[in-house]
Amino acid sequence: MAVKSLASCIFCKIVKGEIPSFKLVETEFSFAFLDIGPLSKGHALIIPKYHAAKFHELPDEHLTDILPIAKKIALAQGVENYNILQNNGRLAHQEVDHVHFHVIPKPDDKQGLIVGWPAKQADKEELKTLAEELVSKLK
């Protein structure tokens, strides 16, 4: 397994045991622990052991067990409603420059993630053109 670490990264330090954490799950590729600034009880983080600031920079093999771990944590939390969240970049509300996924229980409307979703009407022709452009890049 290729491992990339950054000495100044708080999450890399947690993986190495240099900073204590409330570990939930550890695999060859991932490390999950409770968030110390939770939005609700049980708020957990899942991080790849490989250091990458943004999702698209992470090698695929380091993504293989993140969602199965998120599912296990969500089931262990025992709540019906929850969010799985992953942000990339400051404008997208990423605070730590190491890929991480949040599993955030949503027990009621006051706890957990509070989201504003400013949806807009989309022009169907613009959507068609955009879809064609993206499909050509995905091949």
- The residues carrying an active-site annotation are 100
Six token digits for residue 54 = 């943004």
State the Cα–Cα distance between residues 29 and 49, nearest whole angstrom. 5
State the Cα–Cα distance between residues 48 and 99, nearest whole angstrom. 7
What sign does the dihedral 67-102-34-79 (CA atoms) show?
A: negative
